[in-house]
Amino acid sequence: MTTHETTKAPKRKRRGESFWRRALTAQDHSGLSQLEFCRRNGLAVSTFHGWRRRLRETPIESEGPQSSFVEVCRPTVSEPDSQQDQMELIFPSGLRLKLPSQVEGRTLAEILWALEATEAC
């Protein structure tokens, strides 16, 4: 009698509605095609499309709080020139991110998406 070894596929990470809302928003702002965005972020295109379709039918109000981001205000006091054109984002996890104040929206969306995907914030 021979023993058959079974190879289990690695567990897939289950992602909920809030993850997919953020992913869809990030893709919309990224300037990338859906296919390229999914490829770069290790997402299944079929799942991405399924969630896009599902969330179009579901009103946003059915979900709880959309984000844990807080308002970012530019300082009004004069600072040294090297810091004057920067903004700092402080996340609930304590992570601090300093960026040029003129950062493009698309670039900022990609940075925030990458941080969210790694659960850094």
Structure tokens of 56? 């179009």
Mark residue 27 as left, alpha or beta (left: phi above 0; alpha: psi -120 to 50; beta: remaining): alpha
pTM given for the model: 0.47
Among the listed residues 97, 79, 80, the one whose alpha carbon sits nearest the alpha carbon of residue 88: 97
Residue 99: what residue type? L
Where in the chain are the domains?
A: 17-117
pLDDT recorded at residue 62: 43
Higher-scoring residue by pLDDT: 108, 63? 108
Taking the C-alpha atoms of residue 28 and residue 11, their distance in angstroms, rounded to an integer, is: 28
Residue 99 main-chain phi, psi, to 5 deg: -135, 155
pLDDT at 63 over 50: no
Helices (H) and strands (E) in the chain, counts: 5, 2
DSSP secondary structure code for residue 42 in this structure: T
- What's residue 106's pLDDT? 81
| 26-59 confidence digits (pLDDT tens) | 898 888 899 999 999 999 999 999 999 998 887 6
